[in-house]
């Protein structure tokens, strides 16, 4: 499943192909993905110019000259392929794709700059929607959504305000999309490890009784941004590699310090502990009890 840094990597890969270009043709090959496409989907896109491509949590938002926003979510297996009409030498040529893959090409955007952007999704948990720009904050996708973890909104103050008084475990609070939006299991484990915080500590312990941030809150905000930024940078380098191969955007392997390392020595220099695994709300948490004492 793509995590936030992968979605941001996809955004950066799509931006040069889409922004400033007109959607000359939109081919919608099925009535639905995870949800039905909106009414007159292709018709509402055709002829419009993409004026910006943004991201909110794990959603991509393409602003159109019509005032609509094309909201796109990759679900479990969604990916975009960028093709250029310049032929095989150009990044994004499709000639490396193997038989059967194109059966999962569900939407094809042909742009005025010669780029072709294809949405492929074998499991069809992804979806696309059209929302008026003025309704974006209140629409069903974004209403009640928490703060953006890669933006300036995330700070020690914000974490203290959001977590104050909560007895829920720190890990669960970080995964709660109504508080902070777009953080997944992997990056939460990584951030808690770097911040030296136990995943079962009460979320409220990061704030004083009056809701002021303790030092750990500031530390946690900083490492969340750090792990995400590093992953986006790693994604940028794989993006260049991928573009040479087949134009597929969105999935990359990244070296994690604690995630999926149960039983291995702690990666913190000087620590003699080992990575342990515990299950919280049905999902694996990886942590080092020495680096992350209770
Ligand atoms: Zn350790």
pLDDT, one tens digit per residue, over 145-166 is 999 999 889 999 999 999 999 9
Residues bordering ligand 1, an ion, CB closer than 5 Å: 266, 268, 271, 273, 288, 290-291
259, 190 contact by CB (below 8 A):
yes
CA gap 74, 77 in Å, rounded: 6
Q: Looking at the predicted structure, is the pLDDT value of residue 236 above 90?
A: no
Q: What are phi and psi of 59, to 5 degrees?
A: -105, 140
Between 200-209, 221-230, 253-262, the lowest mean confidence (pLDDT) is in 253-262
Q: Looking at the predicted structure, is the pLDDT value of residue 60 above 90?
A: yes
E-strand spans in 29-104?
50-56, 59-64, 68-73, 78-84
286, 258 contact by CB (below 8 A):
yes
Close Cβ partners of 16 (under 8 Å, ≥ 6 residues apart): none
* Residues forming a β-bridge with 255: none
Instruction: Supply the pTM of this predicted model.
Output: 0.89
Would you tell me how many other CB atoms lie within 10 Å of the CB of residue 64? Answer: 20
pLDDT digits (tens, 9 = 90+) for 7-37: 998 898 899 999 999 999 999 999 999 999 9
241, 202 contact by CB (below 8 A):
no
C-alpha 253 – ligand 1 centre gap (Å): 23
Query: Looking at residue 77, what is its pLDDT?
Result: 86
Distances (CA, A) of 239 to 13, 18, 77, 90, 246: 7, 16, 17, 14, 11
Active site annotation includes 3? yes
Query: Looking at residue 225, what is its pLDDT?
Result: 95
Q: Looking at the predicted structure, is the pLDDT value of residue 173 above 70?
A: yes
Inter-helix orientation angle 215-245/185-195, to 10°: 130
Helix (H, G, I), strand (E, B) or coil at 19: coil
* Residues forming a β-bridge with 201: none
Q: Looking at the predicted structure, is the pLDDT value of residue 74 above 90?
A: yes
CA gap 133, 50 in Å, rounded: 13
Helix (H, G, I), strand (E, B) or coil at 139: coil
Active site annotation includes 283? yes
C-alpha 269 – ligand 1 centre gap (Å): 8
pLDDT band at 93 (very low <50, low <70, confident <90, very high): very low
pLDDT band at 102 (very low <50, low <70, confident <90, very high): confident
C-alpha 214 – ligand 1 centre gap (Å): 22
Query: Looking at residue 91, what is its pLDDT?
Result: 39
Torsion of the alpha carbons at 39, 41, 44 and 48, rounded to the nearest 10:
160
User: What is the rounded average pLDDT for all residues in the chain?
Assistant: 90
DSSP run (H or E) holding 116:
strand 115-121
> Catalytic pick from 58, 79, 166, 219?
58
Mean pLDDT of 198-205: 98
């Amino acid at each position: 499943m793509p995590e936030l840094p992968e979605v941001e990597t996809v955004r950066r890969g799509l931006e040069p192909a889409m922004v400033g270009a007109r959607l000359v043709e939109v081919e919608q090959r099925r009535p639905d993905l995870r949800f039905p496409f909106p009414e007159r989907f292709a018709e509402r896109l055709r002829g419009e110019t993409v004026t910006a491509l943004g991201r909110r949590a794990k959603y991509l938002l393409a602003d159109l000259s019509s005032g609509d926003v094309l909201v796109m979510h990759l679900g479990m297996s969604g990916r975009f392929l960028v093709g250029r009409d310049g032929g095989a030498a150009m990044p994004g040529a499709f000639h490396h794709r193997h038989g059967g893959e194109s059966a999962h090409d569900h939407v094809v955007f042909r742009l005025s700059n010669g780029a072709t952007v294809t949405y492929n999704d074998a499991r069809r948990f992804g979806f696309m929607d059209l929302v008026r720009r003025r309704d974006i904050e209140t629409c069903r996708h974004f209403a009640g959504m928490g703060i953006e973890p890669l933006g300036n909104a995330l700070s020690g103050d914000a974490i203290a305000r959001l977590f104050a008084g909560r007895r829920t475990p720190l890990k669960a609070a970080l995964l709660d999309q109504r508080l902070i939006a777009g953080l997944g299991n992997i990056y939460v484990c990584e951030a808690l490890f770097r911040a030296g915080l136990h995943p079962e500590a009460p979320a409220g312990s990061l704030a004083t009784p009056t809701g002021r941030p303790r030092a750990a809150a500031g530390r946690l905000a900083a490492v969340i941004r750090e792990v995400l930024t590093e992953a986006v940078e790693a994604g940028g380098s794989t993006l260049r590699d991928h573009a040479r191969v087949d134009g597929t955007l969105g999935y990359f392997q990244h070296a994690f310090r604690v995630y999926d390392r149960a039983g291995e020595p702690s990666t913190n220099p000087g620590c003699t502990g080992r990575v342990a695994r515990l299950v919280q709300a049905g999902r694996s948490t990886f942590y080092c009890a020495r680096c992350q004492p209770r």
